[in-house]
């Protein structure tokens, strides 16, 4: 008989870490713990968007469900947990594309942001329905979307002469490369990590991708300002101070002036 979609270990994906080795109720202990870390770091990523909303511009990015569902998925390895984890990321990306995708890159048949909303929504619904057919392919598809985002970032950086922006983008890419390397390594080299008794690279992915997002979100806002509020000068800053070893990047608006 078909296992319940809410049952433990009913997911199509099982990561390299051994199941129930450190807890009778948590399938993947370190993936779950670092999923909590992911959730904690994602609480910081939307700060820029929340401030933006308070200023009357922009929209908040719904990152929180991705962290919550990641914890649930790795705790249970259930089919429902897998879908919630992957679809929360898909819908977060869809929201990001809908609100912040630059108009200059719209397809020629799209004439307004509203039409682009509909295009993004229909595409996301189709991808959501397809994910129920073969959920295991979702993660690969989502990682491929990252290459398109990096391509867009590269095109924007070519038009920007702010060295702080370029440095932040470089840091973001470094974190992302480390994250995707950990994800791929866990999937393709599991036999090696199990042989040396160190099957924890997917747990590293959680922290590394969250760090990448901490830098990616301010960059999205920076370029959004250059398109939507060209009379202002966005400035990349760090909280609590540029000199601190651990910082949270954010965007500040200075006197009217176009930087990029």
> Is 143 one of the annotated binding-site residues?
no
> Is 74 one of the annotated binding-site residues?
yes
> Is 15 one of the annotated binding-site residues?
yes
Q: Which two tokens stand for residue 51?
A: 């401030």
What is d(CA 83, CA 78) in angstroms, rounded to the nearest whole number?
A: 9
**3-state DSSP assignment of residue 173:** helix
> Is 148 one of the annotated binding-site residues?
no
> Is 166 one of the annotated binding-site residues?
no
For residue 12, what are the CA distances in angstroms to 48, 56, 136, 233, 257? Answer: 36, 43, 6, 48, 52
> Is 206 one of the annotated binding-site residues?
yes
**3-state DSSP assignment of residue 51:** helix
For residue 33, what are the CA distances in angstroms to 24, 94, 103, 238, 251? Answer: 15, 27, 39, 27, 30
**Is the dihedral angle over the CA atoms 152, 156, 158, 162 positive or is it negative?**
negative
What is d(CA 209, CA 178) in angstroms, rounded to the nearest whole number?
A: 8
> Is 86 one of the annotated binding-site residues?
no
Annotated binding site: 14-15, 17, 19, 28, 74, 202, 206
Annotated binding site for Ca(2+): 14-15, 17, 19, 28
């Amino acid at each position: 008989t078909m296992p319940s979609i809410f049952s433990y270990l009913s997911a199509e994906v099982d990561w390299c870490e051994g199941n129930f080795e450190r807890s009778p109720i948590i399938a993947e202990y370190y993936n779950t713990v670092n999923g909590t870390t992911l959730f904690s770091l994602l609480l910081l990523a939307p700060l820029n968007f929340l401030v933006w909303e308070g200023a009357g511009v922009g929209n908040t990015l719904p990152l929180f469900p991705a962290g919550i569902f990641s914890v649930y998925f790795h705790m249970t390895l259930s089919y429902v947990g897998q879908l919630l984890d992957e679809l929360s990321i898909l819908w977060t990306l869809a929201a990001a594309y809908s609100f912040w995708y630059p108009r200059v890159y719209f397809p020629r048949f799209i004439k307004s942001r509203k039409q682009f909303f509909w295009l993004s929504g229909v595409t996301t619904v189709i991808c959501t329905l397809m994910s129920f057919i073969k959920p295991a392919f979702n993660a690969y598809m989502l990682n491929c979307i990252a290459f398109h985002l990096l391509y867009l970032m590269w095109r924007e950086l070519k038009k920007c002469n702010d060295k702080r922006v370029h440095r932040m983008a470089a840091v973001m890419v470094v974190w992302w490369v480390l994250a995707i390397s950990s994800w791929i390594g866990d999937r393709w080299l599991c036999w090696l990590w199990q042989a040396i008794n160190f099957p924890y690279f997917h747990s590293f992915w959680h922290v590394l991708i969250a760090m990448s997002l901490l830098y990616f979100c301010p960059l999205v806002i920076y370029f959004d300002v250059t398109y939507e509020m060209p009379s202002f000068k966005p400035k990349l800053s760090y909280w609590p101070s540029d000199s601190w070893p651990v910082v949270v990047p954010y965007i500040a608006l200075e006197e009217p002036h176009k930087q990029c």
